[in-house]
């Protein structure tokens, strides 16, 4: 499985880097929900192809 945000290989939906980044942006929301609304261009790290 890969991180939805940056494409890193991980066991969960998001890697820890992206998880903590998304929690900083919006602490009230579940980071996984925010990730679904995000487009790769709005995320600071380049997204790798799956």
Tell me, letter by letter, the H, E, C secondary structure of 1-50: CECCCCCCECCCCCCHHHHHHHHHHCCCCCHHHHHHHCCHHHCCCCCCCC
| Span 6-18, pLDDT tens digits | 777 777 777 778 7
Residue 50 in any domain: the answer is no
Residue 48 in any domain: the answer is no
| Domain carrying residue 37 | 1-43
Residue 13 in any domain: the answer is yes
Residue 26 in any domain: the answer is yes
pTM surpassing 0.85? no
User: Rounded CA gap, 16 and 11, in Å?
Assistant: 11
Q: How many distinct structural domains can be found in the chain?
A: 1
With beta carbons less than 8 A apart as the criterion, state whether 34 and 42 touch: no
User: Rounded CA gap, 42 and 6, in Å?
Assistant: 12
The rounded mean pLDDT for the chain is 70
């Amino acid at each position: 499985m890969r991180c939805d945000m940056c494409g890193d290989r991980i066991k969960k939906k998001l890697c820890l880097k992206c998880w903590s980044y998304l929690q900083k942006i919006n602490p009230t929301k579940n980071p996984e929900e925010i990730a679904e609304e995000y487009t790769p261009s709005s995320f600071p790290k380049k997204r790798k192809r799956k």
